[in-house]
Amino acid sequence: MPNMRPLTVVILAAGAGKRLKSSLAKVCHKLAGEPLIKHVIRTVQKLNPVSISIVVGHKKEQVINECKEFPVSIVEQKQQQGTAHAANVAIEGLTKDSRVLILFGDVPLISFATLEKFLEMSSSFNLGLILANKDDPAGYGRVIRDQDNNISAIVEQKDANELQLKIQEIFTGILCIGVEKFKKWYPELSNDNAQGEYYLPDLVYAALKENESIASFTVKNEFEIEGINTRLQLASSEKKYQKVLAEKFMEEGVTFLDYEHVYFRGDVEIGKDCLVDFNVLIDNTVIEDNVTIGANCVIKNSSIKSGTIIEPNTYIDGSTIAENCQIGPFARTRPGTILHADVKIGNFVEIKNSEIHPNSKINHLSYIGDTLVMENVNIGAGTITCNFDGANKHKTEIHENAFIGSGTQLVAPVKIGRNSTIGAGSTITKDVPDNELAITRTSQKIVANWQRPKKMRK
């Protein structure tokens, strides 16, 4: 039974990508923060194929580097002689009883749902194609149909005549073929065309010669099948995809005050009843329910628990933020920041590699680095942890209920005891015991009858 054939996947990624004019391989360019090739690999993994082969060639080290986290096999196409030639390099090693889904690394947004439906409807055919209708078909292979509306050819842009160029039905580059048939038909292909290449869509001719019927599946969501060949296509796909992601989050219960000006990269999760203001970038971050994010925030590689409010113009990176915190406006948390529940971080505060326990407050103009801050600590404006001696980093500890007066420098390594108070303007270089006041300020002098200097007259 043909539909019992095991499924294998081949992704073509060996082409030069000339139209991008880039020193980076085409499939390594990023869409929503992820290289194009990774989008394709992640999607096909969900189909649970027997194997996934990636055909590499041009700038192969870059492509292999992006694929190394996945269980895929790498096959090299030494000379780029066209898409059918590339597919053959991978299919040569496959067993005849399987069928192979061939995808292009530069068509990154094809969805799992589309592939699943396509594989299902084409399962008993030896050749199945994914097609689409495009308002602007420029650059794509055009689908030619006969009087009975059956597919008779796919003609590349460069080989098409004027009439054919007007056709809006296009080949997406994604097809499924029985391995046995591919091995039979491939040697019949010719490279007598405008590019002197062996074209994958020419398999149509070989199939028709044998009176094989061809399955075709038309994709409705145009953005899924956008091929990325130019910087403009990359930018326009990014824009469309961002809108699709925003729509998905809105369906899941997120409010965007301006959904065309929020940006998502990498793996992003956003919980219900979150409110996101305009011009916000969320990159590889998990956000729980009821979080508010003000305008102009960048949040990356972080997690934020429910009820937290991020005020405008805040930059959060590599941070773990618990429930009901308030951060910003104009705050920066750097990698290694851990905020427990109900912590307040105010404007112009920078935190790095530090853990802040519940109910502690750092409200204004401070740098806290390599520091452990326990519960209910109040750190006054302009406090600096001097964590770097020019050669090494040192730790600061500030224990429960401590009160650090404004304008204090804590020279690490140093430990501030529970319930202790540091007088404003102090430079603390030694540990402070629990319950005590430490102050290093010089005492105030009053200079009697002192006069301000007067401007000298010439």
Binding site for ligand UD1 (CB under 6 A): 12-15, 55, 77, 80-83, 85-86, 104-107, 140-141, 154, 156, 170-173, 199-201, 227, 229
Q: Which amino acid is at 28?
A: C
412 contact choice in ligand UD1, Mg ion, none (CB below 5 to 8 Å, kind-dependent)? none
**Minimum distance between the CB of residue 237 and ligand UD1, rounded to whole angstroms?**
11
Count of other CB atoms within 10 angstroms of residue 320: 15
**Minimum distance between the CB of residue 228 and ligand UD1, rounded to whole angstroms?**
8
- How many whole angstroms separate alpha carbon 48 and alpha carbon 50? 7
Instruction: Taking each helix axis as running N to C, give the angle between helix 36-45 and helix 112-121, from 0 to 180 degrees, rounded to the nearest 10.
Output: 50
- How many whole angstroms separate alpha carbon 430 and alpha carbon 427? 9
Query: Any idea what DSSP says for residue 443?
Result: P
**Residue 60 vs 415, nearer CB to ligand UD1:** 60
Q: Contact at 8 Å (CB) between 222 and 134?
A: yes
Give the binding site for Mg ion (CB under 5 A). 106, 227, 229
**Residue 77 vs 360, nearer CB to ligand UD1:** 77
200 contact choice in Mg ion, ligand UD1, none (CB below 5 to 8 Å, kind-dependent)? ligand UD1
Q: How far is CA 184 from CA 83, 124, 189, 352, in A?
A: 17, 18, 10, 62
**Residue 82 vs 380, nearer CB to ligand UD1:** 82
Quick one: the chain helix, strand, coil %, rounded to 5? 20, 30, 45
**Residue 107 vs 293, nearer CB to ligand UD1:** 107
Q: Contact at 8 Å (CB) between 85 and 17?
A: no
Count of other CB atoms within 10 angstroms of residue 34: 17
**Residue 196 vs 453, nearer CB to ligand UD1:** 196
Name the phi and psi angles at 130, rounded to 5. -100, 125
Question: Which residues participate in catalysis according to the annotation?
Answer: 364
**Minimum distance between the CB of residue 11 and ligand UD1, rounded to whole angstroms?**
8
**Residue 9 vs 200, nearer CB to Mg ion:** 200
Q: What is the DSSP string of 263-323?
A: EEESS-EE-TT-EE-SSEEEES-EE-TT-EE-TT-EEES-EE-TT-EE-SS-EEESEEE-T
Name the phi and psi angles at 122, rounded to 5. -100, 10
- How many whole angstroms separate alpha carbon 101 and alpha carbon 177? 7
**Minimum distance between the CB of residue 313 and Mg ion, rounded to whole angstroms?**
40
Ranked by CB distance to Mg ion, the top (closest) residue is 227
Minimal CA–CA distance to 271: which of 291, 297, 299, 298?
291
Q: Contact at 8 Å (CB) between 333 and 313?
A: no
C-beta pairs of 406-411 under 8 Å, 24+ apart in sequence: 406/380, 406/381, 406/382, 407/380, 407/381, 407/382, 407/383, 408/380, 408/382, 408/383, 408/384, 409/383, 409/384, 409/385, 410/383, 410/384, 410/385, 410/386, 411/386
128 contact choice in Mg ion, ligand UD1, none (CB below 5 to 8 Å, kind-dependent)? none
13 contact choice in ligand UD1, Mg ion, none (CB below 5 to 8 Å, kind-dependent)? ligand UD1
**Minimum distance between the CB of residue 236 and Mg ion, rounded to whole angstroms?**
14
**Minimum distance between the CB of residue 272 and ligand UD1, rounded to whole angstroms?**
37
**Minimum distance between the CB of residue 330 and Mg ion, rounded to whole angstroms?**
44
DSSP E strands in 15-137: the ranges are 30-31, 34-35, 51-56, 73-76, 99-104, 127-133
**Residue 235 vs 437, nearer CB to ligand UD1:** 235
374 contact choice in ligand UD1, Mg ion, none (CB below 5 to 8 Å, kind-dependent)? none
- How many whole angstroms separate alpha carbon 100 and alpha carbon 7? 6
172 contact choice in Mg ion, ligand UD1, none (CB below 5 to 8 Å, kind-dependent)? ligand UD1
85 contact choice in ligand UD1, Mg ion, none (CB below 5 to 8 Å, kind-dependent)? ligand UD1
Query: Any idea what DSSP says for residue 63?
Result: H
171 contact choice in ligand UD1, Mg ion, none (CB below 5 to 8 Å, kind-dependent)? ligand UD1
| Counts for the chain of helices (H) and strands (E), in that order | 8, 41
**Minimum distance between the CB of residue 134 and ligand UD1, rounded to whole angstroms?**
10
**Residue 13 vs 245, nearer CB to ligand UD1:** 13
